[in-house]
């Protein structure tokens, strides 16, 4: 059975606090007619600090899409290898043991994908498969876990490497003054994460089932408007209401496996914002504490897009993991509106995670 091992997460060294964000908003948008609303929404995110790849003075400039994408490429190449090496070490593997690299990112563009560069730069086998995913946004972290699970199910002895690289600060657009854009300026942060899914062995979440769900007719609620100046993020005010239609999809996935989504041992959920977590807590009928790992990511790093679920999982590991056989759910949400969901049992010490007698499997 495929096991999702301990992720490694790295955030850039430049930090901006909530207080600094609010001061900047007041200075840059002092004449904005909806500034009080924007400030209130930013404060309500609960984000205390975010990390960005450049000092804030440079982040606020817009040298053009070409220069920003060049910076995306150079920063990814400078920062990703150390994260990958750490994830491989945590999984007890080497580059030569990896059969597929799944790379997810929505904040820059490369062709060939960074997967090709990693294979050459880090001595992965030349026959390593490449699966770059660029257009699932924040849902891509969950999608990467699911595609790794699918691959290791098809090839039971294989190992998959997941890499999420998000520099959201490089998508800042100083001319975008809508409330959704101003909120995003105070919500998103930068981060890199990597994790290995082992086909056999390993400590972590033994993946048992995955699924996807798209809310009909919501494809324009989260989107990019691609212009000469780069990616312009569009966020509909209805996005925070999406947990009501998505919660039944999570419930059904668990029910199809004989589990009760309201009665699991751990939850690794994308932290798009506090409303997302609050509503999901209500609709799944689980206590707010169930999402403490996601809330901690949001508070300390902001929304780091596809890397959120891997950071939340890293926090579960840091807490000591779960009891052997504990049941849990992982879910990422993003454009579409799409949910990428998976179920798994905690397995430790390379033991096969066999459920207790009489338990649902």
How far, in Å, CA of 232 to CA of 90, rounded?
37
Contact 217, 209 (CB under 8 A): no
Contact 149, 197 (CB under 8 A): yes
How far, in Å, CA of 327 to CA of 207, rounded?
10
Burial (0-12, 13-18, 19+ Cβ within 10 Å), 165: buried
Catalytic residue among 5, 106, 138, 168: 138
Q: How far is CA 120 from CA 77, 117, 126, 128, 336, in A?
A: 12, 5, 8, 11, 34
Lookup result for tokens 């091992």: 5
How far, in Å, CA of 177 to CA of 37, rounded?
13
How far, in Å, CA of 93 to CA of 122, rounded?
13
Active site residue 152: no
Q: How far is CA 123 from CA 98, 119, 120, in A?
A: 10, 6, 6
224 pairs with which residues across the strands? 233
Contact 114, 163 (CB under 8 A): yes
Annotated catalytic sites, by residue? 138
């Amino acid at each position: 059975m495929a096991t999702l091992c301990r992720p490694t997460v790295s955030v850039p060294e430049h930090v901006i606090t909530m207080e600094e964000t609010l001061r900047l908003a007041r200075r840059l948008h002092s004449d904005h007619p909806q500034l009080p609303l924007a400030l209130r929404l930013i404060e309500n995110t609960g984000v205390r600090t975010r990390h960005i790849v450049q000092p804030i003075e440079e982040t606020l400039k817009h040298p053009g899409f070409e220069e920003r994408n060049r910076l995306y490429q150079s920063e990814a190449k400078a920062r990703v290898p150390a994260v990958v090496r750490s994830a491989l070490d945590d999984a007890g593997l080497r580059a030569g043991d990896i059969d597929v690299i799944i790379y997810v990112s929505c904040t820059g563009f490369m062709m060939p994908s960074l997967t090709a560069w990693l294979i050459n730069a880090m001595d992965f086998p030349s026959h390593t498969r490449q699966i770059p995913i660029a257009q699932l946004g924040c849902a891509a972290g969950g999608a990467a876990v699911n595609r790794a699970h699918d691959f290791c199910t098809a090839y039971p002895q294989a190992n998959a490497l997941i890499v999420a690289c998000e520099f959201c600060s490089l998508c800042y657009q100083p001319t975008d003054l809508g409330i959704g854009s101003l909120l995003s300026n105070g919500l998103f942060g930068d981060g890199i994460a990597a994790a290995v899914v082992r086909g056999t062995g390993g400590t972590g979440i033994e993946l048992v089932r995955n699924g996807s769900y798209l809310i009909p007719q919501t494809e324009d609620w989260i989107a990019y408007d691609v212009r000469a100046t780069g990616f312009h993020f569009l966020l509909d005010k209805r996005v925070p209401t999406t947990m009501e239609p998505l919660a039944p999809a999570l419930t059904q996935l668990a029910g199809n496996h004989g589990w009760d989504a309201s009665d699991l041992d751990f939850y690794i959920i994308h932290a798009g914002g506090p409303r997302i977590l609050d509503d999901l807590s209500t609709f799944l009928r689980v206590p707010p504490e169930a999402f403490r790992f996601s809330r901690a990511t949001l508070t300390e790093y902001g929304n780091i897009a596809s890397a959120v679920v891997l950071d939340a999982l890293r926090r579960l590991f840091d807490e000591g993991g779960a009891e052997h056989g504990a049941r849990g759910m992982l879910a990422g949400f993003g454009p579409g509106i799409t949910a990428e969901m998976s179920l798994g049992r905690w397995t430790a010490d390379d033991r096969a995670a066999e459920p207790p007698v009489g338990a649902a499997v």
